[in-house]
Amino acid sequence: DAKTTQPNSMESNEEEPVHLPCNHSTISGTDYIHWYRQLPSQGPEYVIHGLTSNVNNRMASLAIAEDRKSSTLILHRATLRDAAVYYCILRDSTFGSGGSNYKLTFGKGTLLTVNP
Amino acid sequence: DAGVIQSPRHEVTEMGQEVTLRCKPISGHNSLFWYRQTMMRGLELLIYFNNNVPIDDSGMPEDRFSAKMPNASFSTLKIQPSEPRDSAVYFCASSFELADNEQFFGPGTRLTVL
């Protein structure tokens, strides 16, 4: 499985933008980049995903490098409720042997602390 | 929409006892996933189903663990016999299709085996 590398922790101030980096130098052409987050004492929550182009949704933006070896999750204005562990995950989009490629493999993620 | 429902939310049992965790996926979702989270190993995928059929159980740690999905609205994860090292938070997630990019996670079951 292709691996991702994220900083263990990051800190931000409320109302400021946050840029969460992710390196995935061994990404394959069929890997989608997914971001999930896990708030304290809750299950993970989908944030955003992309393949090649930058993506925006109501929660965040995803900036993908041209060579796809890295990406950045952008929270435009951090709030206290954004304090969570953020996971960057690569997911193979090819359908192989009955669907066994559709796994989400979570790493350690980045613990984001938001200061008031 | 109620989201993914898991029960019980907390379970404390003694070593050697059978434990059954339950999950109700979101109505209309065809894929269901069981994960386990511990401090040491993080979040691990145990098994997943598509249209009630197990697709990949390579993450199931050993024969003491078994999972079933008798119908589209119910799944169980059973541990028999349980051991202290099984203590973890167990999450169930569902998605509309296996290829869907968004999985919806339940609140988890915190299992403590004494």
pLDDT, one tens digit per residue, over B54-72 is 998 999 988 999 999 999 9
Question: Between A32, A34, A108, which is nearest B42 by CB?
Answer: A108
Whether A101 has a pLDDT exceeding 80, the answer reads no
Of B6, B3, B33, B43, nearest in space to B97 by CA = B33
* CA Rg value for chain A: 14
How confident is the prediction for chain B on average, in pLDDT? 95
- Candidates B52, B98, B101: best to mutate against A (most CBs of A within 10 A) is B101
The reported pLDDT for the residue numbered A96 is 58
Is the model more confident about A116 or about B98?
Answer: A116
Question: Region B62-88: what's the mean pLDDT?
Answer: 96
Residue A81 — φ and ψ, nearest 5°?
A: -75, -10
- Closest chain A residue to B38, measured at CA: A108
C-alpha to C-alpha distance for A2 and B55, rounded to whole angstroms: 21
Q: What percent of chain A has pLDDT over 70?
A: 92
Q: With an 8 Å Cβ cutoff, are A105 and B45 in contact?
A: yes
Q: Is B37 left (phi over 0), alpha (psi -120 to 50) or beta?
A: beta
pLDDT of residue A102: 72
Least confident of A1-10, B2-11, B68-77: A1-10
Of A88, A75, A78, A109, nearest to A24 (Cα)?
A88
Q: What is the mean pLDDT of residues A72-99?
A: 86
- pLDDT band of A94, cuts 50, 70, 90: confident
| Residue A98 pLDDT exceeds 70 | no
Least confident of A64-68, A89-93, A107-111: A89-93
Between chain A and chain B, the number of residue pairs with CB atoms below 8 A apart is 54
Confidence band for A105, pLDDT divided at 50, 70 and 90: confident
CA distance A61 to chain B (A): 16
Higher-confidence position of A91 and B17: B17
Provide the strand spans (E) within chain A.
9-13, 18-23, 31-38, 45-50, 55-56, 61-64, 70-75, 84-92, 110-115
All residues of chain A having their beta carbon less than 8 Å from the beta carbon of residue B91 are 43-44
3-class SS at B85? helix
Identify the pLDDT of residue A108: 92
Is it the case that residue A97 has pLDDT exceeding 80?
A: no
Chain B residue numbers with beta carbons less than 8 Å from the beta carbon of A102 are 31, 48, 98-99
pLDDT value at residue B27: 96
Nearest CA to B45 out of B53, A93, B55 is that of B55
User: Which pLDDT score, from 0 to 100, does residue A39 have?
Assistant: 96
Residue A93 pLDDT exceeds 90: no
Of A40, A46, A13, which Cα lies nearest the Cα of A111? A40
pLDDT: is A100 or B59 the higher one? B59
